[in-house]
Structure 1
């Protein structure tokens, strides 16, 4: 039995600036639906969600919410005027007895409900808006990019909450794994038309490609028929006879149908050219220690980054990922330790704060006035990887049209701003890419293209991202920052890091139930170790855990390298995995040798 509808849109049409966004669009969301709303940047996803939430009134058509049903929308830029704290805003629609819901959500989403609104960042405001919606728990939740400004721990909390709820929800997100884990139906908006499939996001790409293949086939058939009938109309004198006027009218109808078809938007034409080859050793960090306002960012951190590495930095918001990546890139001098940069480095930086974009400048000026892209003596050309290009032509590579070229940056959506930043970044030749949250607001197709570019890039990449799928696709090494100055290097991407972390914890877990040694044995061990220095005693106690960890990492890497197609399909990952395996095997041999020497010394005492 079908569940009752929570929301219906019927024959909805909407026009912005003379351009149709939707035309006679209809859709229904039922009780308990878990829906992914997908489409290209600029296709109208956010606008459609605002229509669904009642925030935007369509030009024509009806929005129907049954009496007694509630629909809630997570505002991307919430109005917090009139509220003292973020908690006041989040709890504004709740009874006093329900305040605990806001406290619970604030813990999961990691924001301080007592934070004054006046000092709250944009990310904190968005998290408060999300907490407000989760605490109110309407029958239908409309969530537009809820994972933006969340770290992976908060994303996992939100994921668990949505998995356990009985409420319905519609999600817009660039996070593939988040969508795949949560959705059971998909709404696809494409050229003003909305299609629905009763399968989650994991089946979307197959469905989309099949639909586009069928569309291409039908268009080719229509083109052939128009060509055939057009030849008849020109060559056949009998076409002028009254009895053939119907055939001419049919030809006119075919041409009208063909001209009415909306051309499918192409993919962004992203290209990335590596500059001159850097030295083999790109970054060599030793004993790096840094603090900010009495907060330890990193302590005694060692790392060597080789040419071709793809290093991901993960950890909670505020732990210092951006600071560490800037230290390694030579932008910040650490309090202690050293960072040596390799020879011939040409860096290019993608800044999550969008600080490189002037909101009042036009897209045209953003590119032509960029010192790294300016062409001397020309106001309409930009230098792209060593060759001049017309600014509009280059903008079209990133899916901007001629009309947008003169529009101010502030008029762009989040995804469009990200594409403009990519346009500036990819115009430069480089051999070291520093990417701070490059995935925010990008649509799935552009993310795919960016991932392919990074796979083929003949340079080194350091990146920060909370997108688990993107990390798995790109990273060959992961630096996990856990707070308190702790930063640990793991081989592979996010899933590899999680597996190695579980393996590290396993020996410690198994060791706990072990029976206590006899008192005499403990005393004997204490006497034996008395001949060791304090540092040696500590090292002797520490080494078994180190050996267990290295053994587990080696097993994981051997399993990773045993994949039959890895060498042919992912040669870079195979190379990095092999290097990591050899490194850990050498470290294991050294640790075992050190343990034997210390154990023998203790026995001889």
Structure 2
């Protein structure tokens, strides 16, 4: 028996049909990804399934007794409530008893009077009668499982913390069906991996809206696409959906081209006038009228955002150089003895959990924050543009036109003067929306507006903090292509693993306790380097263990630093500097080739091969350097 069915559902806002007689079914154990363009109605569909929005027409059926848990895109909680109170509040009729019991325990700790004790006993009896103890245990287990502080107040949490609370509240209900709207927003990489595991292990049904392609590939057993009011189902993974969708769009384009050609031929015939009337082919005239109605009713596929990025004046070759930089706050070291050199054209991803200090490191690199120790040297002619993940730079009351071009109706893009309404149209904002206030926009629309404002200003250094939140997949891929071809310097903070892999040429990763390290490539390259380093540590430890095992307890086998080198080792030591120099030169050439963003778009196979070679070079150089140090120590 299905958990939920939707039959012949209709929902419209104004003249736009978000749901146009759609039907769907969710079975137990399914993990369904709901995708579609921004504004297509995905969140509206999810709210309708959750019962918070009424359909204009159609039937929604939920299995009797099935529990649904809905987590909206931006959960709204009372900032003064604790995490325990917030989670307990979502558990139905027993929630008031739980909250009263929780409050009574704290009151009793302050005042152990007979009245307080009697109140607590009464609440205990009520909880027993309502099966509240089991629910109380469930809440505490959920809080412990997700590493939350039960007494922390919601107002003190980050966006990622609030999202964790919302997910914990939903799971504490022991739902049969989870409805999740952009659950990865504001979560760091560890949080996203945690959520992937949680969803894969969940025994009920899941319907999730997300544009995180790596997340989609990890969890989806079926893809639902909402496109122009229609709901299309694609069994299997997201990769399988992409293949089928490409073929469908090509077939649709051919079919529409044939239809338009036939319609044009019929229009030519009817315009002959006299001949049409002489033949009195009334059937053909009626058919033409039907074709016209069909063409008018056909909803064209939404256009793509037209992104253009102007670099502005070229900066100096050196963007920033950090030498032994350290920075701490309140006794906590955020950056510890970090050195790096950033050149024009580098595309750098910053990877680390929330609170690791990515923003602090960025401010140090760009000279906006003075280090406690070490030296920062900035390059010349730097023009920096920022993209803020919290969209704090947007005035809620300002119109879209005012945000893009305050005090003027025109913007200058790459030497070309454009009217602000036309420029907004390139970012899929209709002319009538240009005078709408920012507060009327959805999350995805706000991100598009920020991108429009960002790209309206020339810059040779871009700082993008979570630019992918709420963007649909097609806009994401377009933004990737744009950034790959960008000739300036890019700093990218993102938890979208595929976006990092497709854009950045190097990564700076937080490794705990204020330690940051540089790696070639993106997220997957960092994972591979980390796994390789761990493997090498294990391999280097294994011979030592084996040697000790072979030696007697009285006379353990060990290597003396003063041992003389053999003839072969002497020859090896003499050749090592040249070998290292050659490998470093090859490494430098590969880095220069990968620094050209176009290689990822034009020849992705070559890019992957170069990245693989760079990974091997790094490992080989590390081995050669260790061997050189070992042989040198024995010549002393």
What is the alpha-carbon distance in structure 2 between the residues aligned to residue 498 and residue 453 of structure 1? 26
What is the alpha-carbon distance in structure 2 between the residues aligned to residue 283 and residue 582 of structure 1? 26
**1:103 Cα offset (Å):** 5.3
Q: Provide Cα deviations, 1:374-402, integer angstroms capped at 9, x if missing partner.
A: 6xxxx311222343210111101111111
Q: Runs of 5+ in structure 1 lacking a partner?
A: 530-549
Deviates most, 213-222 or 288-297: 213-222
**1:110 Cα offset (Å):** 5.5
Aligned residue number for residue 445 of structure 1: 474
Q: How does 1:402-551 map to 2 (within 5 A)?
A: 402-513=431-542, 514-515=545-546, 516=548
What is the TM-score when the length of structure 1 is the normalising length? 0.85
**1:263 Cα offset (Å):** 1.8
Alpha carbons 1:475, 1:492 under 8 Å: kept: yes
What is the alpha-carbon distance in structure 1 between the residues aligned to residue 347 and residue 33 of structure 2? 30
Match of 1:392 among 421, 440, 445: 421
Alpha carbons 2:3, 2:66 under 8 Å: kept: yes
Aligned residue number for residue 276 of structure 1: 313
Match of 1:30 among 27, 32, 40: 27
Q: In 2 relative to 1, CA 303–360 (structure 1 residues): closer, same or farther, beyond 3 Å? A: same
**1:188 Cα offset (Å):** 0.7
Aligned residue number for residue 15 of structure 1: 12
**1:296 Cα offset (Å):** 1.2
Q: Runs of 5+ in structure 2 lacking a partner?
A: 96-131, 564-579
SS in structure 1 opposite 2:22? strand
SS in structure 2 opposite 1:5? coil
Aligned residue number for residue 82 of structure 2: 85
**1:521 Cα offset (Å):** 6.4
Alpha carbons 1:385, 1:428 under 8 Å: kept: no
Deviates most, 583-592 or 77-86: 583-592
Aligned residue number for residue 569 of structure 1: 603
Q: In 2 relative to 1, CA 121–181 (structure 1 residues): closer, same or farther, beyond 3 Å? A: closer
Aligned residue number for residue 194 of structure 1: 231
**1:582 Cα offset (Å):** 7.3
Q: In 2 relative to 1, CA 459–566 (structure 1 residues): closer, same or farther, beyond 3 Å? A: closer
Match of 2:631 among 584, 596, 599: 596
Q: In 2 relative to 1, CA 572–512 (structure 1 residues): closer, same or farther, beyond 3 Å? A: closer
**1:481 Cα offset (Å):** 0.4
Q: How does 1:75-474 map to 2 (within 5 A)?
A: 75-81=72-78, 84-92=81-89, 93=91, 95-98=132-135, 102=139, 105-106=142-143, 111-235=148-272, 237-240=274-277, 244-369=281-406, 379-474=408-503
SS in structure 2 opposite 1:600? coil
**1:309 Cα offset (Å):** 1.5
Q: Which has the larger radius of gyration?
A: 2
Alpha carbons 2:322, 2:340 under 8 Å: kept: yes
**1:206 Cα offset (Å):** 2.3
Deviates most, 479-488 or 103-112: 103-112
**1:50 Cα offset (Å):** 0.7
What is the alpha-carbon distance in structure 2 between the residues aligned to residue 339 and residue 580 of structure 1? 29
**1:456 Cα offset (Å):** 0.7
SS in structure 1 opposite 2:226? strand
What is the TM-score when the length of structure 2 is the normalising length? 0.82
Aligned residue number for residue 36 of structure 2: 39
SS in structure 1 opposite 2:397? coil
Q: Provide Cα deviations, 1:174-205, integer angstroms capped at 9, x if missing partner.
A: 21010111112111111111111222322222
Q: In 2 relative to 1, CA 568–188 (structure 1 residues): closer, same or farther, beyond 3 Å? A: closer
What is the alpha-carbon distance in structure 1 between the residues aligned to residue 621 and residue 540 of structure 2? 25
Is structure 2 residue 90 aligned with structure 1 residue 55? no
Q: In 2 relative to 1, CA 342–527 (structure 1 residues): closer, same or farther, beyond 3 Å? A: closer
Aligned residue number for residue 533 of structure 1: none
What is the alpha-carbon distance in structure 2 between the residues aligned to residue 405 and residue 568 of structure 1? 36
What is the alpha-carbon distance in structure 1 between the residues aligned to residue 517 and residue 80 of structure 2? 41
Alpha carbons 2:587, 2:617 under 8 Å: kept: no
What is the alpha-carbon distance in structure 2 between the residues aligned to residue 31 and residue 105 of structure 1? 22
Q: In 2 relative to 1, CA 82–596 (structure 1 residues): closer, same or farther, beyond 3 Å? A: closer
Aligned residue number for residue 536 of structure 1: none
What is the alpha-carbon distance in structure 2 between the residues aligned to residue 314 and residue 509 of structure 1? 25
What is the alpha-carbon distance in structure 1 between the residues aligned to residue 24 and residue 558 of structure 2? 77
Alpha carbons 1:286, 1:302 under 8 Å: kept: yes
What is the alpha-carbon distance in structure 2 between the residues aligned to residue 65 and residue 110 of structure 1? 33
**Superposition CA RMSD, Å:** 3.3
Q: In 2 relative to 1, CA 269–236 (structure 1 residues): closer, same or farther, beyond 3 Å? A: same
What is the alpha-carbon distance in structure 1 between the residues aligned to residue 330 and residue 79 of structure 2? 32
Question: How many positions carry a matched residue from both structures?
Answer: 567
